Amino acid sequence: MAVNRAFGCAWRLSRAHNDSGGTRRCVDGIVSLAARDDIAGSPVVVRARINNLLNKDDELAYAYNTPRRDARAAHGRQRR
């Protein structure tokens, strides 16, 4: 039985800047990971994702906070 796996990583890097309120924001990197596992011969698919892995407190825009770390998992069936 063959196993097909996929892994991914997203890294968003922001440079040091002042927000519109004058607060100095430092250089920050937000890391997110994802994985998918398809088992050949089986209709089952498993997916998992972790956003903001290092739980960084970052603000994309004034008064808009990036969500803190969260994780999601799902399973389903493939159509054949």
d(CA 13, CA 65): 15
Structure confidence by residue, pLDDT tens digits, 22-54: 777 766 778 889 998 887 777 788 889 988 888
User: Could you tell me the two tokens for 27?
Assistant: 């250089």
For the whole model, what pTM was predicted? 0.61
Q: What is the separation of C-alpha 38 from the centre of its chain, rounded to a whole number of angstroms?
A: 20
Domain count within the chain: 1
Which domain does 55 fall in, by range?
A: 3-77
Is pLDDT above 80 for 75? yes
